Amino acid sequence: MRYNQLVLLEYDRNKTADAYGNKLIAAMGQDRWLLMQIQAELPQGATVKELAKTQPQQLIDMILQYIEKGDPTPNKEYSQSIAKMYSNGLSKMEDVVSTLADYLVKFDRLKRKKKIQPPRNDFNRYRDLESFYDVVDEYPEEEEAKPEVKQNAQELYRDSNLIVTIPQDEQAACYYGQGTRWCTAGKNNNLFNYYTKGNRPLYVIIPRQQAYPGEKYQFHFETKQFMDEQDQQIGAGGIAKLVKRFPELTKILQLPAEKYSVAPLIGEEYKSIVKEFTPTVIKQTTAMVDQYADRIIGFGFKSLKEYGIDLAQSEQESIAAGMRDYLAQCITAMNAKGGIWSQIIAEPGLERSEDKIESILSADKSLHIPVETSKSGQALVAALTNSRSRMHKDAIPHIQDLVMRDPLFRFLMRQIPKLYTAKLQEQGHALS
């Protein structure tokens, strides 16, 4: 049997689908990029979730088409192994179709020329892509035409220590991405256009005095990807270390850092504005809660009705009578030392995030105390435990939160960011 015939027998899409189909669908469910690609291929009104239920085989075929796209060999001899890796959650599809495809071109060439020896020439032996990449990187590239011109790029900064640039097209992305594992620098199925669609720039950061050979970084703020040359997330700690080496990054990347609340990249001027303005926000917030107290209280009672809990008029009046005192207790607890305002000052960007403010409020144990000890809280418990209501005791804390905490927290999480954002934009920061 000839070699090509043997290869053809090795990969069979149907057999691969039978072996890994359900796991491929499960892996796709955690892969945002692939979900978006497949959703875009479906007819209007159809969803990937529905397809997985009604026509799973069609969905598996669509996933395998992407896997085959990442296999540069004519007979797709690596596709089954890629499917196995992907189904085990060892890779993301955007890396498969781009970065892996580039590496497989080189690997296959080395293998056929017998420059890579057993057992390293067996792709099946690699348990993950990183170990495979590491082996292939040991072999120097053959001489081939390389881009000599930097192509089209917007250079934001250059000095003897640092270069920061925004590639404007795929050629420039490949030029600045040489030596990296970025899918935006791939020769096969390059994803530059996917990431930059809709004015979402890629920032390439190149230290000229490298901490190690090949050191480079690529930031994409919209997707919160802050990657090194190995295409690994450097995280907040890595960004902080980079800023310590190159403080100028807080100015070069000021606008995207502030817009997307990347704390390590936010500069001292921004932090000072937040710190100095916080006492004003405390006063304004206190005044606003007092001004809109009736509305906040009303939301709580409306939630009761939505849950089908009908309290007697006298019970509602008893609860309402102490609600303003309850709100005042909460504000006092918020304004105490070590509360939410200290956290806002300590973490730049938090002050403009409704979700993060809600999380802080929900986790603040001092704000639980007024719910339990205030006259309104006690009156609510009494109303819920009377013989007519028959409320199970385990449900009472949830109802207390629904009536008392939640309306206040929703109000605060919406108002606090507005106050800070207006001030910051007045000073030329956090512009949308």
Alpha-carbon distance of 259 to 254, in angstroms, equals 8
pLDDT confidence bin for 383, thresholds 50/70/90: confident
- In the predicted model, is pLDDT for residue 363 greater than 80? yes
CA angle at 226 for the pair 159 and 163, rounded to the nearest 5°: 10
The answer to whether 90 touches 31, Cβ cutoff 8 Å, is no
Q: Nearest 5°: phi and psi at 93?
A: -65, -30
More confident residue, 394 or 2: 394
Q: What is the reported pLDDT for 10?
A: 62
- In the predicted model, is pLDDT for residue 360 greater than 70? yes
Q: Which of 150-154, 157-161, 425-429 has the lowest mean pLDDT?
A: 150-154
- In the predicted model, is pLDDT for residue 297 greater than 70? yes
Q: What is the reported pLDDT for 3?
A: 35
- In the predicted model, is pLDDT for residue 330 greater than 60? yes
Distance of CA 243 to the CA centre of its chain: 21
pLDDT confidence bin for 390, thresholds 50/70/90: low
Q: What is the reported pLDDT for 68?
A: 95
DSSP state letter for 211: S
Kindly report, residue by residue over 211-262, the tens digit of the pLDDT. 999 999 999 999 999 999 999 999 999 999 999 999 999 999 999 999 999 9
Alpha-carbon distance of 381 to 373, in angstroms, equals 11
What is the residue extent of each domain of the chain?
A: 3-137, 153-264, 268-426
Q: What is the reported pLDDT for 143?
A: 55
Look at residue 204 and give its three-state secondary structure.
Answer: strand
pLDDT confidence bin for 2, thresholds 50/70/90: very low
Q: What is the reported pLDDT for 411?
A: 97
Instruction: With CA atoms as reference, report the closest residue to 85 among 6, 24, 10.
Output: 24
Kindly report, residue by residue over 185-215, the tens digit of the pLDDT. 999 999 999 999 999 999 999 999 999 999 9
Kindly report, residue by residue over 249-286, the tens digit of the pLDDT. 999 999 999 999 999 999 999 999 999 999 999 999 99
Q: Which two tokens stand for residue 118?
A: 């057993």
Mean pLDDT for the stretch of residues 346-374: 93
Q: What is the reported pLDDT for 9?
A: 43
Please count the CA atoms within 13 angstroms of the CA of 193 that sit on its side-chain side: 4
Q: What is the reported pLDDT for 149?
A: 54
pLDDT confidence bin for 333, thresholds 50/70/90: very high
The answer to whether 177 touches 184, Cβ cutoff 8 Å, is yes
Alpha-carbon distance of 68 to 89, in angstroms, equals 17
Please count the CA atoms within 13 angstroms of the CA of 289 that sit on its side-chain side: 25
Q: What is the reported pLDDT for 100?
A: 94
Q: What is the reported pLDDT for 374?
A: 94
Q: What is the reported pLDDT for 135?
A: 95
Alpha-carbon distance of 274 to 421, in angstroms, equals 10
Burial class (CB in 10 A: 0-12, 13-18, 19+), 69: middle
Q: What is the reported pLDDT for 199?
A: 94
The answer to whether 374 touches 282, Cβ cutoff 8 Å, is no
CA angle at 22 for the pair 16 and 27, rounded to the nearest 5°: 100
Type and span of the H or E element at 422: helix 406-426
Q: What is the reported pLDDT for 90?
A: 87
Residues 6+ apart with CB under 8 A from 175: 147, 149, 150, 151, 153, 167
